[in-house]
Structure 1
Amino acid sequence: MKAFQYFVVIFFAILPLVIYPQDVKVGREITTALMDNTYLSKLNFPKSVIRFYTDNYSGDSWTDSQQGLDQSEIALALLARADHYGLSLSGYHLESLSFKKLKQWRDYPSEKNQKERAVFDILLTDGLITFINHLHFGKYNPLYNSSRIDSSRTNGFCADEILSAARLRADFQGEIHNAQPKIKAYRDLQAYLDRYRSENKATATKAVMDKITINMERLRWISTQSENYIMVNIPSYTLEFHQGDEVTDFKVVVGKPTTETPILESEIEYFSTAPDWRVPQSIFRNEILPEILKDMSYLADHHYTVYDGAGNEVIVNASTRRQIRNNPTKYSVRQSSGEDNALGAVVFRFQNPHAVYVHDTPQKQFFNRGKRALSHGCIRVENADRLAAMLLSYDDSEYRISELDYAIQSYEKKDFVLSKPLPIIITYLTCLIKNGKPTLYTDIYQSDKLLQDKLNQNTTPSRIAYDF
């Protein structure tokens, strides 16, 4: 905290040197206000606000009568229409900002209102920076809280820089809009919600509107900016391969409610044919070991091999079976490749802390079910061979498709490394726009209520005015 205060004092000691003469008095009031820690504590992103005035302030305040009304009115209108973007109206200082005050100061500038104008200026700046961050990261991002976002550039994004650049552009509003996610699912939801709010139609219930805002929030947590990506949506049991505007759908099986598929982002760097399955310890202990203890032939019938802690194969007999039963954590199980292998003919790998992956399966019949939350957390994909071939085409390696086909048919072990790793997003969306209308999916992990409760907090602007 002391280091932060020192930075504020040193910087604002020199700030007046870069303020242009036309608005020196408001600039000085801004300088004074931003040296007050009590005042700074009222802001959502104080460090970002300081950076905005430090690096980019040219002397033109939002209330400067010489600047014209357009940009400031657009800025205030964006905050007043936050609900058109699936955001609540709270948190943007709307209780202290008004078009009436803005117009009054523009039309009738006075020496008596310099301090009030400075406060208005800072609150509008903080409101816009907050709005931009909420558009980009969401309000309840599990990876990036407001303190972390305020401290520095996050994944190449910095809201105060976005705002500064927008002030220099003819399309001020468009520059702000660009902070939003580029993913198609988000763009579809946002367009529908904006149209619904603007036309004030009663064609959708509050429950549907709540679902839209919940899932727009989730989509803001995604950092992928590429137009090419794979998106697995757990509630709809689908995998989508996006290549620009072209989307190819695949059915998937996802984790049961007791063994949920995790939400994550990564990149598919390679896929393999004829994979072995290294059985997770939990599955070994809870499912395979009881079968071994009941039936000595179970391992051979399902092509499993047991290994000790040193990686040596264990011959399972009456003696070693007792040892395995008494000390299961000292052993592991691997299933060899083949028609019965749980991973099927091909597996798609990507780095993640949960050790999950996308893979083929010998149990094709499960794709005929409507509800497909059946796995231990990994994702089984229908037509995995087709997905693999599409990845090769995406990677400009169509010439390897025949090699892939042979490897799958003959169960030959082979790695296919992509020269262009493909982003993969595993997300949880209970509402998407299909054929122009909202489509709702079962909340199989019961995740919506917790997020809805957070979004419902302070859904209207506070009526308590700031007194600085």
Structure 2
Amino acid sequence: MQLIGHLLLALLLTLAAASPARKPQPLLRAHLAEPSAQSAPDSLPLRIRALLADTAVTAGHRPLLCHDGRGTNAFYSRRDYAPAWSAGSQVSASGHAALALLQKVEEYGLQPNNYHVPALQALAKSIGPAGASARQRIRQARFEILLTDGLLRFALHLRRGQLRELKPSPLEKADSLFEPSAWLARALEAPEFVPELLRCQPQQREYQQLQQALARWRQRPLGRDSVRIRRAQQLALTLERWRWQAIPDSNYVLVNLPAYALEVVHGDTVLQTHRLVIGKPESPTPTLSSKLRVFTLAPEWRVPYSIATEEILPRLRDNPRYAARHNFSIYNAQGELIDPTEVDWWDVRKKRFYYTIRQNPGPGNALGSVIFRFRNPYEVYLHATYDTRDFKRPYRALGHGCMRMERPMELASYLVGADSLRATLPSEAELAAAPVPRRVTLAHPVPLHVRYATCAVVAGQLRFYADVYKQDEALRQQLFGRGVN
């Protein structure tokens, strides 16, 4: 038996020696694998696919870091991983156009480092007509992926802003959210790639004019001029806000709080401009979007509880006849009209204020000749005033949160449009003489947008406004850090 065992072992060793040795199979690494002559024509798609699949970190190797790996892979998957920015062994015309666009992202208030621009510039210089070597294909594949990823992030930031990537823009609908990879694919198929890609930005006049102003501002190098750098940052952060609160309408009423101004906008034209008084910094007017559906002529003012207890109550304590002098009617908890001279107002406390105060229509009414009410969670409105002195002040953050406007009947006339009501609208003087409340419901509601923009293009001129609510600095630091004082 022992002899048979030795014979079998010798036979196995002989067969093993006669068999060809099997070489270990290398891992599929785009930076290591050499294409065979047969696969060379398809090696760039293979390289792109391999790089997108390469997520392992090993000694001396780190995979490409994509901001949107899923979107980049979806973009190439649609085209079966065929290159999008290459022509043979060189960068294609569309690739050069795309890279040139990313090199100018500062004109859109963005920063090149966020879109792989330094790496792309270095790769573009290293790609040339040297032939289809392995190293050349590797560089091309890296250029392809980084350029696509940079463009996807650029498009997303143009659409939604840098700090709110995950929050849909007002330009999007629930059933058609913005998908950068699909947008980029469509732009690449368009006759003009760059203009088509840039259509993802807000198209409203305020954003477009401000973006063009920033591009012109940056035509002269900023250098170490801290004033020009801060102004460029102010333009950039205002563009960021506009992306968060883009306006999807073409005809609308726009309030810009730092400008203390209301504009009636029709397409690219401003039809009316009105000066405003807005809320004080301690009671700021909020930004919002709503619709103007109704306004009331010669309105009654129902005094808010805070104003009644903090401003009117002290005056009633000094002189109960203050109510009659300012056309106030006061009601008790049962809704009965009372005589304010019969109340000991010194015995009334803020926490035990069981009265309702209303100011009757007519001269002296805080709401003036007309109030424009609109749905909002803040209980703020747009209204007139009989005291127009504040409109002459350069600083007009003086109110409780609502917006007071000059020449309100011009806005009322615009809102009713060609309606027969336009001919019957009274003047402010007529409303003062005969203050009878009248409610007007609009046949066609008009969008209203209240925004906070500390710079804007007005009549072709770039203007900068004071940061009345001190909102710019925190946003500046989020976007640019603390670099410039």
Return the TM-score normalized by structure 1: 0.79
SS across alignment from 2:113: coil
- Among 285, 289, 293, the residue aligned to 2:309: 285
Give 2:37's aligned residue: none
CA distance in 2: counterparts of 1:42 and 1:300, whole angstroms: 73
- Identical counterparts, % of pairs: 30
- State the number of aligned residues: 429
Q: Against the structure 1 CA distance between its residues 276 and 455, is the aligned structure 2 distance closer, same or farther, given a 3 Å change threshold?
A: same
> Which residue of the other structure, out of 81, 85, 89, is the alignment partner of 1:59?
81
User: 2: CA distance between counterparts of 1:225 and 1:109?
Assistant: 48
1:147 aligned to which of 157, 166, 171: 166
Q: Residue 253 of structure 2 corresponds to which residue in structure 1? A: 230
The yes-or-no answer on 1:167 pairing with 2:191 is no
Establish whether residue 401 from structure 1 lines up as the match of residue 401 from structure 2. no
Indicate the residue corresponding to 1:5 in structure 2.
none
CA RMSD of aligned residues (A): 3.5
Please state how far the C-alpha of 1:445 moved relative to its aligned partner: 2.1
Stretch deviating more after TM superposition (193-202 or 346-355): 193-202
More displaced 10-residue stretch of structure 1: 297-306 or 113-122: 113-122
Counterpart in the other structure of 1:303? 327
Q: C-alpha distance in 2, partners of 1:454/1:251?
A: 32
Equivalent in the alignment of 1:135: 158
User: Counterpart amino acid of 1:220?
Assistant: R
Residues 63, 106 of structure 1: 8 Å contact kept:
no
Aligned to 1:81: 104
Q: Distance in 2 between matches of 1:64 and 1:238?
A: 50
Residue 214 of structure 2 corresponds to 193
Q: Does the 8 A contact of 1:65 with 1:106 survive in 2?
A: no
* Structure 1 unaligned spans of 5+: 1-19, 460-468
The aligned residue for residue 72 of structure 1 is: 95
Change (3 A) 1:458 1:238: closer
Deviation at 1:255, TM superposition (A): 1.4
Residue 438 of structure 1 is matched in structure 2 by 462
| Residues in 2 aligned to 1:166 and 1:189: alpha-carbon distance in whole angstroms | 24
* Contact 2:86-2:140 at 8 Å conserved across structures: no
> Counterparts in 2 of 1:307-456, with a 5 A limit?
307=331, 313=337, 316=340, 318=342, 321=345, 324-325=348-349, 327-328=351-352, 330-393=354-417, 396-397=418-419, 399-405=420-426, 409=431, 410-434=434-458, 436-456=460-480
**Secondary structure at the counterpart of residue 146 of structure 1:** coil
Report the alpha carbon displacement of residue 117 of structure 1 after superposing the two structures with TM. Answer: 4.8
1:216 and 2:242 matched: no
**Superposed CA offset, 1:211-256 (max 9, x none):** 3223222222222122212221222221111112331211111112
User: In 1, Cα distance between the equivalents of 2:71 and 2:390?
Assistant: 51
Q: Is the 8 A contact 2:300 2:361 kept in 1?
A: yes
Q: Cα deviation per residue 1:284-306 (whole Å; 9 max; x = unaligned)?
A: 22111212222222223323334
CA contact (8 A) 2:300 2:437 kept: no
Give the C-alpha shift of residue 360 in structure 1: 0.5
- CA drift at 1:315: 5.6
Q: Which structure: greater helix fraction?
A: 1
Q: RCO greater where, 1 or 2, for CA within 8 Å and sep 6 or more? A: 1
Give the Cα–Cα distance (whole angstroms) in 1 for the partners of residues 438 and 415 of structure 2: 15
Is 1:108 aligned with 2:131? yes
- Whether the 8 Å contact between 2:289 and 2:449 is mirrored in structure 1 is yes
Q: Is the CA contact (8 Å cut-off) linking 2:46 and 2:81 kept in structure 1?
A: no
Deviation for aligned residue 1:81 = 0.9
Which residue in 2 is equivalent to 1:274?
298
The Cα offsets for residues 385-420 of structure 1, whole Å up to 9 and x where unpaired, read as 111101222xx42x2112322796233333322333
Which ranges in structure 2 are unaligned for 5 or more consecutive residues?
1-40
Q: 1:285·1:328 contact (CA, 8 Å) conserved in 2? A: no
The reply on whether 1:91 has 2:114 as its aligned counterpart is: yes
> Any conservation in 2 of the 1:25–1:114 contact (CA below 8 Å)?
no
The one-letter code of the counterpart of 1:183 is Q
Q: Deviations over 1:406-439 (max 9, x none)?
A: 7962333333223332222222222223455432
